[in-house]
Structure formats: structure tokens, C-alpha cells
Amino acid sequence: MVKFTKIMLSVWILFFLFSCSKKTTEPENENIVLSGNNKIYQIPGCQYGGLGKTSYQDSSFAYQFDTVLKVDFLVYSNCCPDLNRFEFSCVIQSNIIEVTVVDTAEHLCDCTCPYIIHSEFYYLPLDHYIFSCLFNDSWNESIVYMEEVNRSKNHP
């Protein structure tokens, strides 16, 4: 009877562990902005390695544009807290995509961190856009990126 109880307890623990696992490609605990056909969120944590782990060329702004436009870019801000610290908004007019990043937790620590912001834009009709990023904190609003993005020529 003791052996049976141990086996059943082990099975129950394994079932509990696997049934509670959550599989997602998006980080947990972030502000995800879903606006129409767009998604914008902060990758959690300080990203001192920049975008070097991606397959893109630039280390602070990178994009991939075929069916979906995916843009990763860095913003620099105070190092704590290191997640859920930004609010995002997005406006698309003609061939201009303007993303605004607002720092909601500035000046809490005496250090600076690079943060990766990931954005996805679906169902874009044009093959060429100007991607603009505005960064707001209590001191100023500045344009941190103004980049041309072009749809891949391999896209059907």
C-alpha cells in the first residue's frame, strides 16, 4: 500500500507541474499594447547585449518585413524597475508608423539600462514605410528613431 501511495503521489505531482506550465513566445508580465492589428511590448530586463542576438544588421534598430512588419529597437532609461515601465501608443497614417514610448517609472535609481521594445504590425498594404519612435519622459520628448522599412523582395 505504501508503494502504491508513493507512485500515486508522484503521478499527481508530475501532473500538477505539467498542467500548470504555460508555453508562450511572448514574455510574461509586460505591458502589451494591442491596437487594431498591432502589438507592442517591452522584452523584460536590462538588455546590455543590445539586439546582437537577432539576425538583423543594426544593434539598436532591427526589422523584418514580409507579411508582418516586426521591429525591435532599444530605448535607454532608468534601470529600475526593469519591466512594466513603459506605456506605448501607435499611429499609422499613410506610409508613416509612429510609435510613442512613455517612461512611467523614471528617476528611481542612479543607473541607465537599454531596453528592447518589440513591435508587430499586421496587414500593412504598402511596401515602404517610415518608422518613427518618440520617447517621452518628464523632461522631454525626443525622436529616437526615424527609419525606412521596406518589405522583403522575396514576399509574394
Contacts 24+ apart (CB under 8 A), 23-30: 27/83, 29/83, 29/84, 30/83, 30/84
Q: Say how far apart CA 138 and CA 60 lie, in whole Å.
A: 23
Residue 143 lies in a domain: yes
Number of domains, the chain: 1
Residue 125 lies in a domain: yes
Tell me the whole-structure pTM to 2 decimals.
0.71
Which pLDDT value is given to residue 155? 61
Strands (E), 68-121: 69-78, 86-93, 96-103, 112-121
More confident residue, 57 or 137: 137
Which residues, at least 6 apart from 77, have a Cβ–Cβ distance to it below 8 Å? 85, 86, 103, 106, 112, 113, 115, 137
Kindly tell me if the per-residue pLDDT of 64 is higher than 90. yes
Residue 1 lies in a domain: no
Residue 66 lies in a domain: yes
Q: What is the pLDDT of residues 116-135, one digit of tens each?
A: 999 999 999 999 999 999 99
The rounded mean pLDDT for the chain is 76
Other C-beta atoms lying within 10 Å of the C-beta of residue 32: 12
Q: Which backbone phi and psi does 10 adopt, to 5 degrees? A: -65, -45
Q: What is the pLDDT of residues 14-60, one digit of tens each?
A: 333 333 333 333 444 445 655 567 999 988 888 776 665 444 445 68
Residue 116 lies in a domain: yes
Residue 73 lies in a domain: yes
Return the CA Rg of the chain: 20
Q: Say how far apart CA 58 and CA 54 lie, in whole Å.
A: 9
Taking the CA atoms of 17, 19, 23 and 27 in sequence, report the sign of the dihedral they define: negative
Residue 136 lies in domain: 29-150
Kindly tell me if the per-residue pLDDT of 94 is higher than 90. yes
Which residues, at least 6 apart from 43, have a Cβ–Cβ distance to it below 8 Å? 27, 30, 115, 116, 117, 118
Residue 5 lies in a domain: no
> Which residues pair with residue 90 across a beta bridge?
99
Residue 11 lies in a domain: no
